[in-house]
Amino acid sequence: MSPAARIDTEAIVHAAFDVLDREGFAALSMRTLAAHLEVKAASLYYHVPNKAALLQLVADRVARQVVTAFVPGRPWRELLHRMARDLREALRAHPGAAAVVAVRNASPEVFENAVPLVLSAMHEGLRVTDDEALHLVQALYVLVNGLALAEFGETPEPPAAPAAYYDAWFDTAVSTFLDGIQARHGA
């Protein structure tokens, strides 16, 4: 069996998360990944054309975890707060991925099914255009990722402060952001 046949895209993504979590963003390379999978780097290119595509797969996997947890019919504030918590949990499960999410936007296809749900919730309780609503969601996503980078940015080094500090920081930042949306766009 050829090395390329022994692996698939799912195994490569899983291995990328392992490398990110154990060794950090700086250590992630096609060569490191190949060694982790016990294949030659050339075998990876059959499934993933380059490192940029690999990073895209990681960013999309994180975003997909967040989007699949969206619940229809929830008020905008609950929906966005849940999105923030789910993103933080996804990044807490894979702290090395925060650096990837910081440099790679999720593919539009990942969010396309969630857009009508988000717009519906935001139009229910806010005075926002579609563009404003989507910009607010993106801004919250970036805020939460920034907080995660501050907490996990030196993976595999442990966070600099106790977990309670980051929990309080997260709660303050997200609630202030959501309060700002209400103050500026409340119906």
State how many domains the chain has. 1
The model's pTM: 0.92
For residue 121, what are the contacts with CB-CB under 8 A and spacing of at least 6?
A: 74, 75, 76, 79
Cβ neighbors of 144 (< 8 A, separation 6 or more) are 84, 87, 88, 91, 170, 174
Per-residue HEC secondary structure of the chain comes to CCHHHHCCHHHHHHHHHHHHHHHCHHHCCHHHHHHHHCCCHHHHCCCCCCHHHHHHHHHHHHHHHHHCCCCCCCCHHHHHHHHHHHHHHHHHHCCCHHHHHHHCCCCHHHHHCCHHHHHHHHHHHECCCHHHHHHHHHHHHHHHHHHHHHHHCCCCCCCCCCHHHHHHHHHHHHHHHHHHHHHHHEC
Task: State the pLDDT at residue 170.
Answer: 98
In the predicted model, is pLDDT for residue 96 greater than 90?
A: yes
* Domain containing residue 109: 3-185
Type of residue at 26: A
pLDDT tens digit string along 19-70?
A: 999 999 999 999 999 999 999 988 899 999 999 999 999 999 999 999 998 9
What is the per-residue pLDDT for 2?
Answer: 54
Q: How far from the centroid of its chain's Cα atoms is residue 107's Cα?
A: 11
ω into 156 cis (within 30 of 0): yes
Q: How far apart are CA 15 and CA 36, in angstroms?
A: 7
Task: Please determine, for residue 4, whether its predicted confidence score (pLDDT) is greater than 90.
Answer: no
Distance CA 83, CA 69 (A): 8
CATH number of 169's domain: 1.10.357.10
Q: How far apart are CA 28 and CA 32, in angstroms?
A: 6
Q: What is the pLDDT of residue 5?
A: 55
In tens, the pLDDT along 104-139 reads 999 999 999 899 999 999 999 899 999 999 999 999
Structure confidence by residue, pLDDT tens digits, 135-165: 999 999 999 999 999 998 788 888 999 999 9
> Is a pLDDT exceeding 70 seen at residue 3?
no
- CA separation for the pair 102, 132 (Å, rounded): 21
